[in-house]
Structure 1
Amino acid sequence: MSWLEKYRPRTLDDVVGQEHIVRILKRVAQSVKSGNTEVLTHYFAAGPPGTGKTTIAYAFFRDAFGEDAPILEINASDETGVDAVRNKVKAFARTAGYSLIILDEVDYMTSNAQAVLRRVMEVYPRTVFYLTCNYPDKVIEPIRQRCLFSRQRFKRLSSAEIRTMLKRILNAEGLEITEEEMDAIVNSSRGNARDAINLLEAFSTSRDGIDSLLSVKATLKLVDGIYEGVMEGSSVKDVERLVVEYFANGGQIPDFCERFMDNLLSDTSLDEDDITLWMHRIADVIYETSVVEYPEILFRAKIIAFMG
């Protein structure tokens, strides 16, 4: 059994992160256990991969109805047509008692399939729908309006949360790793719990990949330094030196842009308009450097222009 399955949280108390979601679901589950099923509704979980969207659904329904609660999980990215909704969702929704249908990646469903799903959600009041997606804007408004958390987002786990989760696993396995190795895994996972656990399991059998992870950690620190230099108005020469060092260490432009955007989203000194402006700038960098013969030269020019 993989560590992802072995250490998947069974209850909401076991979940690390997403406190703004878990706190509400705990209250709902407690009310249901006390006999008040009127608090149940449908749920909408939007956010990046590896942030616990599906795991939390299972934990919530088990907390509310016990280990044997009927749960059906369908990956909508595999079955995008109307037939998948009619044949699987409607058949399961007819079962007696309360049941949970987890529809993963509902944003991959066609508009017609989503329209069918909306009608099914209206017909079966004892079926709870828990819909996950990466891109909420691709889900039709009538579905989102029927769900709790339609305006809230699952967040990438913080470094502290990833560290807490990994230490639990290490303690359970009776294993130890160095702080340097832990830092490398935490930084490489970028807030994705699934990636962090897979990396840790890989290290439990072989340390061969640690050098490459430490190299990734070093390049991420360079991106952080460039971000600070651009935002704080450091000298152009200092920032350009970091850019040259980034590429000399094997850094890639898409990885740079992803890390830069992570910094934007966690920068509390920026307002929403500032973040949107910078996101557009980075999107332009990604596109323009993808269509030229010498992308690194253009990239360096773009970074310097940011400081103008």
Structure 2
Amino acid sequence: MTSILMQKSQKLDQYEQERLEHTPWVEKYRPRNLDDVASQDHAVKVLKKTMESANLPHMLFYGPPGTGKTSTILALSKQLYGPNLYKSRVLELNASDERGISIVRQKIKNFARLTVSNPSKEDLEKYPCPPYKIIILDEADSMTNDAQAALRRTIENYSNITRFCLICNYVTRIIDPLASRCSKFRFRLLNNENALNRLKYIAEQEHISLDSNQLVLQEVLRISGGDLRKAITFLQSATKLHKSLAAPTEEDGDIQMLDEIPGEAITVESIQEIAGVIPENVILEVVSTIKSKNSKSIITQVNDIISQGFSAQQVLDQLHDKFILDDSLDSATKNKIAKTLFLIDKRLNNGTDEHIQLLDLCLQIAKSL
């Protein structure tokens, strides 16, 4: 009997290990408790204090993507309820779910009005298990105003047995009556030190070989712009790329993707390639061509960039830094260039043809110089 139980336990451990190996790193290294949340000291400090009394207010988390808003509330919920009660006490809805007024009146209201089941003695010993449920509405700024107005009454009516946590990128899109019922927590872009420590931890856990440790991780953070989720994804993609380059090829030409292959050291160039960043020499060549004001050369240069598959939006972002931060240009010229950049950016976001817009951008900047 003991040997059978041991075999089952070994199989479960093996299954769990295999599951983690095939889990995206963003999920694999998601914070398990509030202490793991990086760079959001103020929010974490206040939430830890409220956890002591286990009397949470309704909450509104807002800030840029990838700063840990969803991870924080999920970690908090797990610390409050533990793995057993979590499934029955927490309802998470994302923008991928339909969240019109009908969902608020049915699914959310039905869950909010449910009475709270009594926790087991074992759960009470390990976790606070407060007598209320938590409803997490991720990307709440995408909800219609009617749905938000309907949610206001639900929050009022069931606040004794349900707490709400609204998560959004733009707090101005949350109606005032809803925002005033919640305690606001602002999530900032991650500072380099905390984010760098988190990436170093992941690199150590995954046994990643880096060309020059600090430089590669700093480049990952620079490209991701304070979005840790994006940074972790770039690092995982670069790791898989280098493992595939080092992997043996089968007789039919297929590559063997084996996790135990160490792969080559990840370089700054490979991170830029994964992220779609245009090499510095290419951007300098574009800038030089624009400054020459030769229409034929500009057309040839733009055709070459498009044929290489570079994103027009990425070209625009990097040209913005080159011209707007150029001290040799006067303010009037910068204003003209900035106006052109904003106009082309708007057109690209509206889905216009990238080739035409990139050509227009370069010619208009040349005209402004």
Q: Is TM more than 0.5 here?
A: yes
Q: Give the CA deviation at 1:72.
A: 1.5
Contact 2:238–2:271 (8 Å) recurs in 1: no
1:48 aligned partner? 64
Task: Give the total of aligned pairs.
Answer: 283
Q: Give the CA deviation at 1:178.
A: 2.4
Relative to 1, partners in 2 of residues 1:133 and 1:221: Cα closer, same or farther, differing over 3 Å? farther
Question: C-alpha offsets along residues 43-71 of structure 1, whole Å, 9 cap, x if unaligned?
Answer: 22223322211101122344456564532
Question: What code does the residue aligned with 1:136 have?
Answer: V
2:112 aligned partner? 93
Structure 1 residue ranges without an equivalent (≥5): 230-235, 264-276
Contact 1:163–1:182 (8 Å) recurs in 2: yes
2:120 aligned partner? none
Q: Choose the corresponding residue for 2:176, options 133, 137, 141.
A: 141
Structure possessing the higher relative contact order (Cα contacts under 8 Å, 6 or more residues apart): 1
> Under a length normalisation based on structure 1, what TM-score does the superposition of the two structures give?
0.71
Contact 1:101–1:129 (8 Å) recurs in 2: yes
Partner Cα distance (1:280, 1:46) in 2: 29
2:226 aligned partner? 191
2:197 aligned partner? 164
Structure 1 window deviating more from structure 2 (248-257 vs 5-14): it is 248-257
Partner Cα distance (2:321, 2:90) in 1: 34
Question: C-alpha offsets along residues 190-214 of structure 1, whole Å, 9 cap, x if unaligned?
Answer: 3322222223233444415965533
From the CA coordinates, give the structure whose radius of gyration is larger.
Answer: 2
Q: Choose the corresponding residue for 1:176, options 203, 209, 214.
A: 209
Q: Spell out the pairing of 1:229-268 with structure 2 (5 A cutoff).
A: 237=291, 247=305, 251-258=310-317
Q: Choose the corresponding residue for 2:74, options 58, 70, 78.
A: 58
Relative to 1, partners in 2 of residues 1:58 and 1:237: Cα closer, same or farther, differing over 3 Å? same
Q: Choose the corresponding residue for 2:94, options 75, 80, 88.
A: 75
Partner Cα distance (1:239, 1:260) in 2: 16
Relative to 1, partners in 2 of residues 1:223 and 1:157: Cα closer, same or farther, differing over 3 Å? farther
**Secondary structure of the structure 2 residue equivalent to 1:171:** helix
Q: Give the CA deviation at 1:119.
A: 0.8
Question: What code does the residue aligned with 1:51 have?
Answer: T
Relative to 1, partners in 2 of residues 1:280 and 1:75: Cα closer, same or farther, differing over 3 Å? farther
Q: Give the CA deviation at 1:256.
A: 3.9
The alignment's C-alpha RMSD in Å is 4.3
Relative to 1, partners in 2 of residues 1:223 and 1:90: Cα closer, same or farther, differing over 3 Å? farther
Relative to 1, partners in 2 of residues 1:291 and 1:169: Cα closer, same or farther, differing over 3 Å? closer
Q: Give the CA deviation at 1:278.
A: 9.5
Partner Cα distance (1:147, 1:222) in 2: 50
2:346 aligned partner? 287
Q: Is 2:160 the partner of 1:110?
A: no
**Secondary structure of the structure 2 residue equivalent to 1:129:** strand
Q: Is 2:236 the partner of 1:201?
A: yes
Partner Cα distance (1:143, 1:165) in 2: 34
Relative to 1, partners in 2 of residues 1:196 and 1:118: Cα closer, same or farther, differing over 3 Å? same
Structure 2 residue ranges without an equivalent (≥5): 1-19, 117-130, 246-265, 323-335
